[in-house]
Structure 1
C-alpha cells in the first residue's frame, strides 16, 4: 500500500501546485510542504523545482511520479485479486469519476447513491467538466473513469457505450418570435444561444447540422454560455432558440417554462461513453461501476 507521503506527492506532482493539492486533499499547505520535505530528505534529492509561484518536477521527481503511477495500478490489481480470492477482503477504495454537465447534474446522482449503498467501502469523487476537459483529466491521471458524449480518436483510451440522449431545440414559452415548428432554413434567421466550445452538446449539434449541409458558423449565434444550467436559465427569459439535452429540460417542459421546437429533418441523438486509459479495463472497481451504471439504465 502506498504511504500517505507518497499519496500526497502524487497529488502535488499531478496538479503541480501545493495550493491546489491542499484544497483537493483537505490538508493544510504547511502539512503538505512538510510531507514533501520529508520525502526529499528520505530520497536525498529534490523532487520539485520552485519557480516563484510555480513548481515543476525535477528529473528525480518525474522518475518517482512515473514509478508511483505503476505502483498504484499494481496495488489496485492486488486488491482485485485478493477480493476475488476472499470476499471478506474489502479495503477502503477511492475512485474519481469525471463527467460532462448533463451526466453530472441529471443522470449520475441517483446511480452514485445506489452504488454507494451496495459498496460502502468505496469513496467516490465526481468532477464536472465539459467533455474535452474530461478527456484531458483522464489522460493526466486526474480521474479514473470519465463519461463523455461521443468518441474522440485517442489511441490510448477505450470507449464503452452506456446510454443515449436526445438534444432538442427549446425556447421560452413566452417567446413571441419563434414558431413551435421550423424548417432547417429558418435557423439562418433565428437568434441562437449555444454552449461553449469544448461542450459535447455543441459538438453533437454541429455534427448533426453538418450532415444536413448546414454550417454552425453561418447561423446567427448571439451568445455562448458555459454550462447547461446557465444556458437553460438564459433561454427561459430571452428570445433566443437553444439546443439542450432533453434530460436537462424535462422539468421545464412539464411546467411550461420552456417549449420544444420541432425542426423538420433534424434529429440530434448522442451516445454517452465511459472512457478509460488503456490497460485499466480489467480493474475490478471500474468494471463493477460501469456494469452497475449500465444495469441502472437498462431497467
Structure 2
C-alpha cells in the first residue's frame, strides 16, 4: 500500500497547492508540508519548486508522480480483485467528484447514498460548481471525475452518458403567463430570469434559441442568478419567466407554487454526462462509480 506521505504528495502534485491538498485531505498546511519534507529527505532531492504562493514539480517530482499514479492504479485493481474474492475485505478509498448544481442537488444524492451503502469504506467528496467550472477543475486535475450538463464538448475529455432531462419554462402561479402557450419568438417580448454564464441549463437554452435565430441578448433579461435554487426562489415571487430543469421544480409544480408555460416550438432536452480526462477512464474507483451510477438510472446499455 502507498504510505500516507505518498498519498499526501500525490494530492499536492495533483492540485499543485499545499493549501488545497490540505483541504481535500482534512490536514493542516503544516502537516502537509511535514510529510512532503519527509519524502524529500528520504529521496535526497527536492520534489517541488516553491514559487511564492505557487508550486511546481521538479524533474524528480514528475518522476515520482508518474510512478505513484501507476502504483495507485495497481493498488486499486488489487483491492478490487480481493474484494471479489473476499467480501469481508473492504479497503478505504477516496474519491473527489465534481458535479454541476442541478446534478448535485437533484440527481446524484440518491446515487451517492446507494453507492456508500454498497462501498461503506469510501471517503467521498462532492464539489458543486456550474458545468463550465467543473470542466475547468477536471482539466486542472483538481478532480478526476465530473458530471456536467449541456456544454459544448472539448478535446482531451471523455464523455459518458448518464441520463437526459428536460428544461421547462416556469412562472409563478400568480403570473398571467401561466394561462398562455408561447412560441419561441414570443420570448423576445417576455421578461425572463436566467442562470449565470457557464451554467449548463443556460447553454441548453442558448442552443435551442439559436435554431430560431434568437440570441440571449435579444431577450428581456430582468436578472441573472447563480444557482438553480436562487432562480427558483426568485421566479416564485416575481412576474418573469424562468427556464429550469424539470428535476429541480417537480415538487413546486405538483404543489402549484410554479406553473409550467409551454413553449410550443422550443426543444429543451439536455444530457447529463460523466467527464474524465482521456486515458483515465479505467482508473478505479471512478470506473466502478460510473458503472454503478449508470446501472442506478438504467442506462448501462446507452
TM-score when normalising by structure 1: 0.89
Partner of 1:171: 171
Partner of 1:138: 138
Partner of 2:191: 191
The separation in 2 between residues aligned to 1:237 and 1:188, in whole angstroms, is: 22
Partner of 1:202: 202
The Cα offsets for residues 247-294 of structure 1, whole Å up to 9 and x where unpaired, read as 111111122222111112112011111223333434453343233323
Q: Does 1:266 align with 2:266?
A: yes
C-alpha displacement at 1:178, in angstroms? 6.7
Partner of 1:241: 241
The separation in 2 between residues aligned to 1:277 and 1:178, in whole angstroms, is: 44
The separation in 2 between residues aligned to 1:182 and 1:203, in whole angstroms, is: 20
The separation in 1 between residues aligned to 2:234 and 2:107, in whole angstroms, is: 22
The Cα offsets for residues 56-115 of structure 1, whole Å up to 9 and x where unpaired, read as 333433333333333322322333344455555431122222211111101111121122
What are the within-5 Å matches in structure 2 for residues 3-18 of structure 1?
A: 3-18=3-18
Equivalent position SS for 1:259: strand
Q: Does 1:108 align with 2:108?
A: yes
Q: After alignment, is 52-61 or 6-15 more displaced?
A: 52-61
The separation in 1 between residues aligned to 2:217 and 2:65, in whole angstroms, is: 43
Is the contact between residue 162 and residue 272 of structure 2 (CA under 8 Å) also seen in structure 1? yes
Partner of 1:128: 128
Q: Does 1:219 align with 2:215?
A: no
Equivalent position SS for 1:39: helix
Change (3 A) 1:185 1:134: same
The separation in 1 between residues aligned to 2:101 and 2:65, in whole angstroms, is: 31
Partner of 2:98: 98
The size of the alignment, in residue pairs, is 299
The separation in 2 between residues aligned to 1:279 and 1:94, in whole angstroms, is: 19
Is the contact between residue 253 and residue 259 of structure 1 (CA under 8 Å) also seen in structure 2? yes
C-alpha displacement at 1:33, in angstroms? 1.7
Is the contact between residue 80 and residue 283 of structure 1 (CA under 8 Å) also seen in structure 2? no
Is the contact between residue 151 and residue 159 of structure 1 (CA under 8 Å) also seen in structure 2? no
Partner of 1:27: 27
TM-score when normalising by structure 2: 0.88
Partner of 2:51: 51
Is the contact between residue 100 and residue 129 of structure 1 (CA under 8 Å) also seen in structure 2? yes
